[in-house]
Amino acid sequence: MTPNYHVAGIAKAALESAVLYLAMQLGRDGVLVNAVGASLLATDGALRAIGEQHARATRTVQARRSATGRAVDHEDVARCVAYFCSPLASNLTGELVTVDGGFSRAYL
């Protein structure tokens, strides 16, 4: 377990709840509400919160256990956001997409 990262699960659950609530409240007005829940990215905030060594170790485990065999990078998240902003997602709302290479679905 990564020290100081335990709050991430609580934050992601709150995000999912807020997305569903807002989608129901704003959908009839034509507002689509979706979110991206990415696994650990090497950002300044993450590195400060858990430390560079722990972040590196966590990303190594995620790469090893994910279905894609690699950790998520910023481009993966950006592509998902671009999809949400495109006409391809014109009637998609209330979704929290987890961009983690299948890590959260792995049973290994």
Q: What is the mean pLDDT of the chain?
A: 90
**Which residues partner with 35 through β-bridges?**
96
Looking up residue 16, the CATH number of its domain turns out to be 3.40.50.720
For residues 67 and 45, give the distance between their C-alpha atoms in angstroms, rounded to a whole number.
26
Examine residue 108 and state whether it is found in any structural domain, yes or no.
no
Examine residue 66 and state whether it is found in any structural domain, yes or no.
yes
Predicted structure pTM score: 0.82
Examine residue 85 and state whether it is found in any structural domain, yes or no.
yes
Give the model's confidence band at 105: pLDDT under 50 very low, under 70 low, under 90 confident, else very high.
confident
3-state secondary structure of 71: coil
Q: Is 12 a catalytic residue?
A: yes
Examine residue 107 and state whether it is found in any structural domain, yes or no.
no
How long is the chain?
Answer: 108
24: containing domain: 7-100
Examine residue 17 and state whether it is found in any structural domain, yes or no.
yes
Residue 65: phi and psi, rounded to 5, are -95, -10
Please state the domain count of the chain. 1
Give the mean pLDDT of 39-67.
88
Give the mean pLDDT of 71-97.
96
Q: What pLDDT does 10 receive?
A: 86
Q: Is 107 a catalytic residue?
A: no
Examine residue 106 and state whether it is found in any structural domain, yes or no.
no
- Give yes or no for a contact between 101 and 68, defined as CB atoms under 8 angstroms apart: yes
